[in-house]
Amino acid sequence: VYVLSACLLRLLDSGSAEELMESATQTCNSDLTLTQRTSHTEPAAAGRKLTIGILGSSVARGFCASSCLGWSAMLKDALQNQFGYSTVNMSVAGADVETTLQTFDRFVPRCKPDILIISLSLGNEGIFLCPPSQRKRVQMRFENGIRELIAKTVEIGARPVLGGVYPNGDSVPHTYELLKETNRNMINLGLPMLNWLDALDDGNGRW
């Protein structure tokens, strides 16, 4: 796990998003040969060690956190220490729903995650920088993309978990309303969700 983390960080500094995903899945494939796995269409057998995938962007990658140890790193350590589960972080800085959908089929199934956390950002869709007249369109594109990613996750036999929308330092009253609306829409999908907005929002949609 530590070799994988170091490799991903080096690639973030110097490589492309595809190189990053390729490295993650190559290491994942070699590590998974050490773990006996069962069919992903069946519930996890008692005592079987699960693999948790994380599919997101820079926050899920740990950017701006101390030593890049953000929520994904803390989650990885907790799952490993408490349950012996492994975690593969396939997040790419700057990723949006379109680029994530484009690379999903190539990389995610190879890691055979039992659970996949999908945690993308409306900020990377451009909602805080686009003209106000385009914000609703950006919001709908994001929500539709999340639904497509959920469907893809189910297709490969993994169980989807959502990471909700994040606050953003450029939020204004209108974008804050859209953030809250998308957050509610994601909750209403009925899946487990890490509700970042309610936990981190300053009351104005900002960190």
Neighbours of 46 (CB within 10 A): 5
Strand order in 159-163's β-sheet?
86-89, 51-56, 115-119, 159-163, 193-194
Q: Tell me: the pLDDT tens digits for 46-68?
A: 567 899 999 999 999 887 777 76
CA pair distance 176, 88, nearest whole angstrom: 31
Neighbours of 115 (CB within 10 A): 19
pLDDT of 69 reads: 76
- Residues near 28 by beta carbon (within 8 Å), at least 6 away in sequence: 4, 51, 88, 110, 111
Predicted confidence at residue 131, as pLDDT, reads 97
Tokens of 150: 């959920």
User: 166 near 197, Cβ under 8 Å?
Assistant: yes
16 SS3 class = coil
Q: What is the pTM of this model?
A: 0.78
pLDDT average, residue stretch 110-126 = 96
